Structures are given as structure tokens and as C-alpha cells.
Amino acid sequence: MSSRGYKIVLTADRTLMSDYSTLFDGMVSASQTDTVPAFILKTILAPAPAVGPDKKVLKAPLGLRRIEAALSRHGFKRKEIGIFRESELDFAVGEDTAIVAVSSGDPAGLGMNSSTMEALYGGTIHNKHFFRQLLAKISSLKKNGLKFKTVVGGPGAWQLLGDKEFEADHIICGYCEGNVSGLFKDIIHHRAAKELEGRNPEPGEIPHILGPSSMGVVETSRGCGMGCAFCTLKDTPMIHLPESTILADIEANISGGNRNIALISEDFFRYGSASFAVPAPEKLIDLLTEIRSKTRTKLIQTDHVNIATAGAYSDNELKEVASLIGGSHERDYIWLNLGIETPSERLLKENRAGGKMLLPEGKNWEAFSLEQIKRLSGFGFFPLISVIIGLPGETEEDALCLERFIDKLKDAKASVFPLYYTAIENKSKTGINPAKKKIYGRIMKKSYSLNFKWVPKMYWENQNLAGVNKARMLMLQFMGKGQRLIMKY
């Protein structure tokens, strides 16, 4: 590439672009506020991604890999496109650059996790600092007389709508592989609005990635569509990627040196189902069987699971899924992110989350959730339970009910992560209700007492299987103990 730059430059801030060993490493990094010095984040928690001779990153966030593939498939030459970290933008951006596209996760720090970490540790979430820093760098390149357009997309793009603090020429919301090439051409020819809507392609049209993804992330499904008022994917129906695309994405990772894979979905156990009301366990088992038999995958990690979907699996089906995920290793901590949100059925229904509660006749939500948590734990899974504090309509009794729910988990192999509610529609953080502050404090204290008992064991198993060296593993365990000392609860 000449000094005139790449036509399309793709990038992301440090917390998204870093070379994490496991999925949980990425979660830990994205949960830090500036009470942790930036140099610790950069050198220990979020190491810079490696680059090749052409200065492109060797591994990139999955979202950017999808955009790279979609552009290459529809009207742009692959040699015109490059994914670069911030420190290489001076090299990548030049007179021929038409677009610098930025993926965002939580750019304004409005996510529930960010709000909660700021309440627990003080300060401002690092995500926001690093995103601002990246946009400032891009803005400085424009001051050199370059005429490119800055385009922001990704799951956090909604946070920037109507926000004049962030300098972006265009914002694309939603999945956009279905029309990103057309949108970019419109932007280049000055016929695009500032705020643009992406088009989610049909499952068979989702392009397989052309290089390895950060953390070996591979989609099995995308979207959710259960309608929960507090979720950005509430109106996006779940679609399942074809097995051929999933296997191709895994091979792209393995060919690029990633043998540790993270299978990502908003409901892992819903793979292959035509309806969230009727899971299809045989489809997931078939997929995992194909992955184990046709690829050289080492560690398989998972992400979100809906508790009602897990409950629809038989004991034998859960055992088989756990065995296939574990492969040749005996696993005790296959972590699953379970969105319980609240033990209150009334509160869930008031927040349009009734779709989560597809329960067997005669069961109530709290008892069913506790039953499934203990059941999953018994088959080698490790539930990371998220609950939301301050949901609209929450009463003092609801908060006390949540506290009692956590008490019932004190002997379970599980963890609980309470999150302070953030209103998506008006992008506002809900302040802590003074009348419930003591209850919330007890909820946090009890939850993190459970977390510090079990999470280090889960983290150790995952890092060990990922091949992380023992010195780094011990250092991160030590840092975790240190963070416990500075928590506000």
C-alpha cells in the first residue's frame, strides 16, 4: 500500500481491539474505571493486538471482520480495506482514504455494566476514555487536510444518536452487512444522511470472516426478539447462522492461529430453534459434534443462555452439550451468562420481559430459576447470573425479594452480578434510590462475596485451558483480590 492510504480503514478503541486470551478477559477489561491507571489496563488487562508486516492487526473484533467480508463481497476490493489499531492510523489513513469506520461497544459509558462499575469503584469507565481518545486521533488526521468521512457503528452506536460531544459524520445503527456496501458508497458520494439504519442480512447471506477474530469469537445466532424493555435487541428476531458459515468462521480462526473459540449468541441453547418457545437441543448437539469432529478447536467458550431454554433440555442433553464443549478436558466451570434479571414475575412482566418466563405448568419464576441454576452447576456449567437493580416499578419488597434470592444461592456453584438499571430510550442512568440504598448495598456485598469465592476458580480453569502462562494467571488472580479491597460495598 502506498503512502496515500487505504480506501476503507476499519478500527475500534483499545478495549474492543485488544488481544485477550479468553472471553472473560475481555469482560474484565471492559469493567474497569479510571481508578485503575490506564497503563495497567494497557500493559496487563488489555494488551495491544499483534500486527503483521502490513501493519494490519492479525486478530480483529468479529464485527469488523464481518464488515471487511461484506465490503469485499459487494463492490470493494479486499486490498482497499484494512483493519488497524489506533497507533497505526497515521500509516493507514491518507489522501485516498474515503472512510474511517469505527466499531463501538459502550462509547458513552451508558451500558448497565459501566454504570454499575462506576458506582462500585468510582471514576469513569475506561471504555468512554478510550473511545474519546480514538475519535480525537481520527479528528487530528482530518486537520491535516484529509477529506475522509468518520463512520461509527457497532452495538454501542445508539448511544451517540443526537450526542454532539462525539465527532462523527455518520452513525449506522444495527446489523448492517446486508447494506453496508451501499451505505458506504452513498457516504463516499455525499448522498447519505448522518443517521443511517443497517440491514440485517438473511442467515445464508451473512459473509464468513476472512481472518481470525479477537478471542476466537464466532456467532452461532444473532438477535433475540423477546421484547424485554431493558434490552437493545428486544425487537431484533433471533436468526441462526448456517452450520457451514460457523465452521468456515472457525477455520478462519484456526488458520490464523486461534484454536480457542467463543461461541456467541444471546441464547446459546436456542440454536436451530424456529421459536424461543420450542428449543431444538438436537440442532445444538449436532453443531457441537461437527465442530469437534471437523475442526482442531481446543477450548470452546460460551456466552448467554436463557434460563427457560436451559430448562427445556433434558438431563442427558445437558450432559452431552457439556461433554462436547469440554472435549478431551474435564470441565467444572463452563460459564454461562444467565439473565435472571429479577425473581419477581410481576416486575418482569411490567418490563415486557414475560417472554423469558416460559415455565412448566405449576412453576413460579424464582423457584424455577433456582432449580435450573443448581441443575446446570451439577453438569459442569458455571452460571454467571445477572440481575437488575432499580427496574421501573421496583418496590422495596422487590429489592428485599432479590436479596433473599441471593441468600438462597450462598451454597451454589454460581456467581451473581447485579447491574444498575439504565433507560435505553432516553439514555439516562438511574440514580440509586436513597430509600433502598442499604438494601442495594447488602445485595452487592452478598453477590460479590459469592463471586470472589467462585469466579477466580472459573477464571483459572479457562485461562489454563487457553494456554495462558502461569505467571500471568497468578498476577491476574492477585489483582482480583486487590480490587475487592477498593469496592465501595
Question: Please, what are the domains in the chain?
Answer: 8-197 (no CATH), 212-486 (3.80.30.20)
pLDDT of residue 1: 47
- Mean pLDDT confidence for 254-276: 94
Q: Are 459 and 329 in contact (CB under 8 A)?
A: no
259: left (phi over 0), alpha (psi -120 to 50) or beta: alpha
228-243: per-residue pLDDT in tens?
988 988 889 999 999 9
pLDDT beyond 60 at 293? yes
- Mean pLDDT is lowest, of 280-284, 299-303, 339-343, 357-361, for 357-361
pLDDT(166) > 80? no
Average pLDDT rounded to a whole number, residues 45-72: 96
* Residue indicated by cell numbers 479468553: 22
Q: Is 434 helix (H, G, I), strand (E, B) or coil?
A: helix
**pLDDT above 70 as % of the chain:** 97
Strands 99-103, 81-83: pairing kind: unpaired
Residues 381/322, Cβ–Cβ less than 8 Å: yes
Q: What is the pLDDT of residue 429?
A: 65
Query: Residue 330, exposed/middle/buried by CB under 10 A (0-12, 13-18, 19+)?
Result: exposed
Give kind and range of the element (H or E) at residue 456. helix 437-466
CB 419 within 8 A of CB 389: yes
Q: Are 474 and 459 in contact (CB under 8 A)?
A: no
Neighbours of 201 (CB within 10 A): 18
Residue pair 238/222 in contact by the 8 Å Cβ criterion: yes
Residue % of the chain over a pLDDT of 90: 79
Would you say 61 and 23 are in contact if contact means Cβ atoms under 8 Å apart?
no
pLDDT in tens, 110-164: 889 998 998 888 899 999 999 999 999 999 999 888 999 999 999 999 999 987 7
Q: pLDDT band at 488, cuts 50/70/90? A: low
Residue 364, C-alpha cell as written in the block: 413460579
| pTM (2 d.p.) | 0.94
Q: What is the DSSP-derived secondary structure letter of residue 337? A: E
| Residue 305: band (very low, low, confident or very high) from pLDDT cuts 50, 70, 90 | very high
Edge-to-edge strand order for the sheet containing 381-389? 304-305, 334-341, 381-389, 415-420
- In 3D space, the residue among 130, 128, 102 whose CA is nearest the CA of residue 115 turns out to be 128
What per-residue confidence (pLDDT) applies to 69? 98
Per-residue pLDDT band at 486 (split at 50, 70, 90) = low
**Which parts of 76-223 fold into alpha helices (H)?**
89-92, 112-121, 126-142, 180-188
The whole-angstrom separation of Cα 38 and Cα 181 is 36
